[in-house]
Amino acid sequence: MKEAKKIGGRECIIYQEGEQPLVLLIQPIGAHEQESINNEMTLITERVNVPLVMAAFSITNWELELSPWHDPALSRDKEVGEHADETLRYVTDELMPSLRQKYGKLPIVLGGYSLAGLFALWAAHESNLFNAVAAVSPSVWIAGWREFALQHCVKATDVYLSLGDREERTRNKAFAQVGDNIRFEYELLQETLGMEHCILEWNPGNHFADNALRTTKGFVWCIKHILNHGSY
């Protein structure tokens, strides 16, 4: 079942599979993902035969609403980096309470692709309300990520990381750091969460290849980990 509705002033697409969902998936999506999110949900339900609900909420300004802090390599707009906390508060104070009224308290997976993947990973350091995180091709090249990760522990139980095997092969010096930074993040997560609660998966291709399939793989890993290991 698919339903489009406004929650807390934002457009949301709610997908429900089954009568009594066991897991809640939350994903910020931009206009460029309005088509692929349908394919993604189909792929997820093909791979996990469990009732679940997904809430995909709209992002109007990708950089402005998802960047946890300012980085000139991302945007010259100095306001970029000042509003991710507002987006996180929307998720925790508007979206989640509304969904809980209908579906009850479910284990939650927050996930996203690219800058939304970075937002999901950052949010897991800021809030303890997410059981698992699917950070798919996250923009961990952003200046200061390593320092932030060292100073703030992940509060989720399970974390999925992935990257395309060609993403770090770029002439852009800022973007080229993504490979080393995600390896650093994975090593840190292995130390803090344990090897059984995190994974770094490499996908073929660059940053723009198969985003729906890659995001599907992240959510599926998180769903299976939550249900198989009782991480909630």
Q: What average pLDDT does the structure give for the chain?
A: 92
Pull the structure tokens for residue 14. 């709610």
| CA-angle at 190, arms to 225 and 206, nearest 5° | 80
Residues 196, 228: contact at Cβ < 8 Å? no
Question: Which residue, among 211, 221, 225, has the nearest Cα to 40 in the 3D structure?
Answer: 211
What percent of the chain has pLDDT above 90?
Answer: 76
More confident residue, 168 or 224: 224
Q: Which residues pair with 27 in a beta bridge?
A: 56
On the question of pLDDT at 142 being above 70, the answer is: yes
Check residue 232 and give its pLDDT.
Answer: 46
DSSP E strand stretches across the chain:
2-7, 10-17, 23-29, 52-58, 108-113, 132-136, 158-164, 198-203
Residue 231 above 60 pLDDT? no
CB 56 within 8 A of CB 12: yes
pLDDT at 23: 97
What is the pLDDT, as a whole number, of residue 175? Answer: 83
Contact 73, 67 (CB under 8 A): no
C-alpha to C-alpha distance for 127 and 84, rounded to whole angstroms: 13
Domains of the chain: 2-229 (3.40.50.1820)
How many angstroms separate the CA atoms of 120 and 105, rounded? Answer: 20
pTM: 0.94
Of 105-114, 134-143, 166-175, where does mean pLDDT reach its minimum?
166-175
* Residue whose entry in the numeric block shows the structure tokens 């698919």: 2
| Beta strand pairing call for 52-58 and 10-17 | antiparallel
Average pLDDT over residues 2-18: 93
Q: Which residue has the higher pLDDT, 167 or 14?
A: 14
Q: Give the DSSP H or E segment for 86.
A: helix 84-90
